[in-house]
Amino acid sequence: MGSTSAQHNEGLGRRDLIKRSAALGLIAVPTMSFLSACASGSGDSGDDKVEKGEKTEKNPLAVNGSAPLEIVIFDGGFGTKYAEDARDVYKKTYPEAQIKFSATQKIQSVLQPRFNGGTPPDLIDNSGAQQMDMGVLVGKKQLTDLTPLLDAPSIDDPAKTVRDTLRPGIVEMGQFDGDPVWMLYYAYTVYGVWYSQTALDKLDATYPETWDDMLALCAKAKKQGIAGWTYPGKHPYYIPFSLYPFIGKIGGVEVLNAIDNLEPKAWEHPAVKAAFEAYYELYAKGYILKGTPGLDHRGSQGAWARGKALFIPNGSWVENEEAAIIPKDFKLSVGAPSSLDSSDKLPFGTIWASGGEPFIVPAKAKNPAGGMEQLRIMLSEASSKSFTSNTKSLSAFNGGTDGLELSDGLKSGVAALDKAGTNVVNPRLQDWYVKLQKEQIGVAALGEMMAGRATPAETIKKIQAFADATAKDQSIKHFRHQ
């Protein structure tokens, strides 16, 4: 440990000279440009793109088959196997292409300097806790419009365009302002109230279709020493996964759209108040698992998977994430928000389902055609099947589940989508205003309300103030539902 002796130091003299010259060389070699944070002096965006290839039937995007391609994938709940499989297909199609494939959990810290330096990769899965702010990227014109990809013929059936093969809502989600599609959400996530059918069976209960039944079931569970609900208290932005569709169900899609559009007084709608009060009742009646406000997502999911609580607001990735601890006979299922009363605008079954894992092709990518071609490959039936079997999740490709052995949660998700039909809502706050959704509405407002430290009325006032501040802040780019 840090002890230096005299003899040691004598040796250091010589070594130090070598070190010194090395350090001097290091400082002298780069030009002055390295000293500035924004080496934007080049300004040659687009000049250094690779040459286009020849447009053919098999190659509608005119990919240059010998050009290098770089892909960066988020290494999270879905793993990277599905992306590697798709990369291998590209490799087979264009054997001359040098493909650089890397995976990281820290998308932002790895890629931020490359965007800033104008040398981003060709295809990025911009996801995870460290995702780059989409609003900033779109606002600063850092992305390629993916419309050519959507209009290209699909791999499986050249008579259909890629656009025709996607699940409802995927294209719209990629639009932030007007027609261009800036990103393609590759995973298809079902959000809702997740529970164990086995646990309900033990209580002689079915999934409660009305809020009164929900409260009655929680009371019944409480007698057995089981909590009704838990949620990730450290990340309360999980609560909206079931609360937003609940609001939409009570008051209609317009309420959610007004919220997304940051309209003044959007949160003061009676539907919001009714939904908040219903959730607050869970706390007031003691149906929330003790200690929940201090649990992170793993802690709460762990407690829930071990049967300490019946319900948890979550997304379909939970099946993969907790695969290790969800018991074999758990019968994982997802429920749509229960009906508050008969005046609800939308029927029971209304659910939030939307894209996850947004893939982007940067505006300054060297090989944007290659990036889009890789996405086109991923949207083929074979790739989608590989994704579903690897991740127990649906992809943006509409279909691709035939002949696959579906897991419990996935089966239940597909059934929930069938039941919902066209009543699928898609709140956008978490894509458009990450900070507002996660930190302000989630942690600062809903987290406090569900821990019983703020009333619904106070919470609504607080959220409205946050939303107004976001609407007012000129340094944030604003978006609206089309």
Partner 1 sequence: MKTTDTPPSATDAAEVPAQRAGTAAKSPSAPAKSGEGKVLNVFSHGVLVLWAIMVVLPLFWAVMSSFKTDTDIFNSPWSLPGSLNFDSWGRAWSQAHMSEYFLNTILVVGGSLVGTLVFGSMAAYVLARFEFPGNRFIYFLFVGGMSFPIMLALVPLFYVMDNMGLLNTIHGLILVYIAYSLPFTVFFLTSFFRTLPTSVAEAAIIDGASHTRTFFQVMLPMAKPGLISVGIFNFLGQWNQYMLPTVLNTDPEKRVLAQGLVELAASQGYKGDYSGLFAGLVIAMLPVLAAYIIFQRQVVSGLTAGALK
Partner 2 sequence: MQHGKYRFIVGFLAVPMALYVILVIWPFIQSIYYSFTDWTGLSPDFTMVGFDNYAKMLDDDIFWKSLQHSVLLAVLLPLVTLGLALFFAFMLNVGGRRRKGAAITGVRGSGFYKIAYFFPQVLSIAIVAILFQFAFDPAQGMINGTLKAVGFTDVPDWLGDPKLALWVIMAVLVWCTTGFFVVLFSAGMASIPKDFYEAALLDGASRFTTFFRITLPLLWDTVQSGWVYMGILALGAEGFAIVHIMSVGPGGPDYSTTVLPLYVYQSAFRDGQAAYATTIGVALLLVTLAFAALVMRVGRRERLEF
Alpha helices in 118-269 (DSSP H): 134-139, 147-151, 170-173, 197-202, 211-223, 240-251, 253-260
Q: Is 296 in the site for partner 1 (CB under 8 A)?
A: yes
* Chain residues 115-174 in contact with partner 1, contact rule CB under 8 A: 116-117
Q: Which stretch binds partner 2 (CB under 8 A): 128-136, 279-287, 384-392, 410-418?
A: 128-136
Q: Is 288 in the site for partner 2 (CB under 8 A)?
A: no
Q: Which stretch binds partner 2 (CB under 8 A): 66-74, 138-146, 199-207, 333-341?
A: 138-146
- If binding means CB under 8 A, how many residues of this protein chain bind partner 1? 40
Residues 6+ apart with CB under 8 A from 94: 63, 65, 66
The helix or strand, by DSSP H or E, that contains position 229, with its residue range, turns out to be strand 227-229
3-state SS class at 183: coil
Q: Are 232 and 296 within 8 A, CB to CB? A: yes
* Chain residues 3-62 in contact with partner 1, contact rule CB under 8 A: 3-6, 9-10, 12-13, 16, 19, 23, 26, 30, 33-39
Residues 6+ apart with CB under 8 A from 167: 188, 355, 394, 396, 397, 398
Residue with tokens 């010589």, as numbered in its chain: 14
Nearest to partner 2 of 187, 363 (CB atom) = 363
Q: Are 333 and 412 within 8 A, CB to CB? A: yes
Return the amino acid letter for 319: E
* Chain residues 40-69 in contact with partner 2, contact rule CB under 8 A: 40
Given partner 2, partner 1, none, residue 4, with its beta carbon under 5 to 8 Å by kind, binds partner 1
Task: Classify strands 99-104 and 69-74 as parallel, antiparallel or unpaired.
Answer: parallel
Least distance (Å) between residue 301 CB and partner 1:
8
Distance CA 84, CA 155 (A): 18
* Chain residues 331-390 in contact with partner 2, contact rule CB under 8 A: none
Question: For binding to partner 1 (CB under 8 A), which residues are involved?
Answer: 1-6, 9-10, 12-13, 16, 19, 23, 26, 30, 33-39, 77, 104-106, 109-110, 112-113, 116-117, 296, 298, 302, 306, 321-322, 324-325
Residues that bind partner 2 (CB under 8 A): 20, 23-24, 27, 35-40, 108-109, 112, 115-118, 130, 132-133, 135-137, 140-142, 233-235, 290-296, 299, 303, 434-435, 439, 443-444, 447-448, 451, 453, 473, 475
